[in-house]
Structure 1
Amino acid sequence: MMLTAVRIGGIAALTLLLSACVSTVLEVDGKATQPIPTAVTAEMSRKSMSPSAPILVRIFKQESELEIWKRDRSGRFALLKTYPMCRWSGKLGPKKQNGDRQAPEGFYHVSAGMLNPNSQYYLSFNLGYPNKLEAALGYTGEALMVHGACSSSGCFALTDEGVAEIYAVAREALKGGQGSFQVQAFPFRMTPQNMAKNRNDPNFTFWSDLKQGYDIFEVTRRQPKVSYCEGRYVFDKEFGGGEPRDVLAPCPPALNTPDALVAARTQSDRVAMEELLTAGTVLSAHAYADGGMHPSFRRLLERSGQSALAKRTSLSSVPVSRPDAAIADPHSPDE
């Protein structure tokens, strides 16, 4: 009886692991301890960065790109490298429920315990979805990862080569004393043009909140402080009595005033967006059947199919998820 229960429990656990972007490999090989590639450390040196300095990650769905930023000797973050994403799933917009194939959007913090050296997709790290805000809003889902390969069911896939570099850079930053690194996941680069294109999207108010954090980083090159109240993100606010305990309650009065340069940037972008809308020169927003793929990988898939893409990205055992959608997206909403 006990042996049967153990077997059933083991099968249930394996089923759970296979349902998301998580580990199914029991043995640990050397891939998680590989050093940062020489070319990357040379770029760090050129940009006055050290391997142990803190990092910050930005993800852009529409552009299918992931950026690694690193603090340099000035104390501000500078761009180290941009990686093309091979696959993400769903549409533009936040993840709200388990099984919706949505890759998340928002602000997350990744600690050393969230690095996964045994991922079924080479290497990975967990974003920590749902965060405190998402949990309060009733959003569900688990094991939302940045990982290797070119297959996604709510995750961000960067190929084995790409995630190996990112994993090594993140590992060394965390070993260097950074308690956790911030991941900012956006639907697109939050320019006036992109905001104008998506003005009528149901997620526009949510994206406008995300843009406040985006603007802080764009202007100051420092990590924005993330708080939650009134069911939304609030950035760089100091509240009397500490952080709001109830994420859905009204925001208490802030003790500090907004950064003048950041406020000016936000206002100028808002004016530029309104001018684009008034001029009627805004193109229609993109639509998605199921996620996106960076153009560099899409060209390989279009020319030679999955076998060529697998060979190019060392993915011989992992097929591309929903390749027809990968080629078709993004498309015009009228198509």
Structure 2
Amino acid sequence: MPRGAECSGLVVIASFFHRLAAFFIIVWVGFGLAACAGFVKGGDNRHNIPLAPALVKALHDMGSSPGEAMVIRIFKTEEILEVWKRTSSGQYKLFKTYAICAYSGELGPKMKEGDYQSPEGFYTVTPGLMNPKSNYFLAFNTGFPNKFDRAHGRTGSHLMVHGDCKSVGCYAMTDAGMAEIYALARESFKGGNPNFQVQIFPFRMTSASLAAHASSPHLSFWQNIKEGYDLFDINKAPPAWDVCEQRYVFNPMASGPLDEMGACPPVIQNAALDARKAADSQALSNVMALADRQASEQAAIRARGEAVNGFFSGIGNMFGGQPAPQPAAATPVQ
């Protein structure tokens, strides 16, 4: 074989192996990147997943858009999270309801770090509270403890609404549900809204449900947050809230932040709210009256029982403390 042909063959072989090696390197790098995307928390751009076209269409159909303001309401007993969106009318409409996969604790507010209790009350979520790298897929921090919580010396941290289905004081929404909720919040911020309100309740705040929990130690707290619930229900817009006298105040007539320990200012009057408060008072009065009647009846039953026992005890004392004599048995006929 001519020397030139031999060299040419060697060059071709070398070039082939060079390309083959480059191919394996590319495949290896691509596999490595795919593996990283699968295992590095928050590194897969999940926080930028666009809203599904069907959701965008549903928003437009109700007179809203992804960039419009939003409100989230959470109900423990019903185990649901609602997303409300502002519409072109200025009022908010219910956009979508999500099932809560898990929350921890019982009905009532969170008191202290480590009590495994999910919070209740009114919270304000800003972009800084969004967590795109959560260990539970995606999350946002509720902002607990808020001004009200701090006024009562309540403690806790990292109280989130997140993905997955396990909770230690949080609200777990599953990854699929949280992907949509997170995207709705993200788009609302992109629309220029500086925050959104999160309202967390123990149950639907009707007069009947409140009366059903009249004996709860949390009753006064629930009556307080029910004002905010009612105002949103009446006006279809989130009420402004602050804290004074260690309680929530809604739509206060004040020009700046309030002293959480100081006196409360006047609030914007609302006839429909006053009517609901009257209905609440009547429902609670009915429950208390029923409880009083039941207590009286139980007391009367106990008194009658004691009287009967006393009567038979008196008869026994007539016979020297011995039981009353029994009639003698008849003598059999022989």
TM-score normalized by structure 1? 0.72
8 Å CA contact 1:193–1:276 kept in 2: the answer is no
CA distance in 2, matches of 1:74, 1:57: 19
Q: Kindly indicate whether residue 213 of structure 2 is the aligned counterpart of residue 198 of structure 1.
A: yes
- Cα deviation, residue 41, structure 1: 1.5
Aligned position for 2:49: 34
Matched ranges for 1:26-175 at <5 A: 27-175=42-190
Determine the C-alpha separation between the residues in 2 that align with 1:137 and 1:192.
Answer: 26
CA RMSD of aligned residues (A): 1.8
Q: Does the CA-based 8 Å contact 2:140-2:161 persist in structure 1?
A: yes
- Which secondary structure does the structure 2 equivalent of 1:45 belong to? helix
Deviations 1:114-173 (A, max 9, x none): 111111110000001000121121111111000011100000001001010000001000
Alignment partner for residue 248 of structure 1, among 249, 261, 267? 261
Is 1:270 the counterpart of 2:284 in the alignment? no
Unaligned runs of 5+ in 2: 1-38, 292-334
**Which residue of the partner structure matches residue 259 of structure 1?**
270
Using the alignment, how far apart are the partners of 1:160 and 1:222 within structure 2? 29
> Which has more radius of gyration?
2
Distance 2:59 2:284 in 1: 36
Q: CA deviation at 1:273?
A: 4.7
Matched, 1:231 2:242: no
Count of residue pairs the alignment pairs up: 253
**Shift in Å, 1:67:** 0.3
Counterparts of 1:65 and 1:139, CA distance in 2: 25
Q: CA deviation at 1:197?
A: 1.1
Deviation digits for residues 281-311 of structure 1, max 9, x if unmatched? xxxxxxxxxxxxxxxxxxxxxxxxxxxxxxx
- SS of structure 1 residue aligned to 2:81: strand
Deviation of residue 276 (structure 1)? 5.7
CA separation of 1:63/1:170 partners in 2, compared to 1, >3 Å: closer, same or farther?
same
The whole-number CA distance in structure 1 between the counterparts of 2:148 and 2:225 is 13
Q: After superposition, what is the alpha-carbon deviation per residue over 1:11-37, rounded to whole angstroms, capped at 9, x for unaligned?
A: xxxxxxxxxxxxx96552121101112
Contact 2:42 2:137 in 1 (8 A): no
Determine the C-alpha separation between the residues in 2 that align with 1:247 and 1:104: 19
For residue 192 of structure 1, report the CA deviation from its aligned partner.
1.6
Task: Indicate if the aligned counterparts of 2:42 and 2:132 stay in contact, CA closer than 8 A.
Answer: no
Gaps of 5+ in 1: 1-23, 281-335
Deviation of 1:185 after TM superposition, in Å, equals 0.5
**Match of 1:184?**
199
- 1:317 is aligned to none
In structure 2, distance between residues paired with 1:165 and 1:154: 22
Q: Which has the higher contact order (CA 8 A, sep 6+)?
A: 1
| Cα distance in structure 2, aligned partners of 1:228 and 1:48 | 34
Classify 1:171/1:264 alpha carbon distance in 2 versus 1 (closer, same or farther; 3 Å).
same
Range that drifts further, 73-82 or 230-239: 230-239
SS in 1 for 2:74: strand
- More helix by percentage: 2
Contact kept? 2:117, 2:168, Cα under 8 Å: yes
Residues 1:39 and 1:270: Cα distance change in structure 2 (over 3 Å): farther
2:97 is matched by which residue type in structure 1?
Answer: T
Calculate the TM-score normalised by the size of structure 2: 0.72
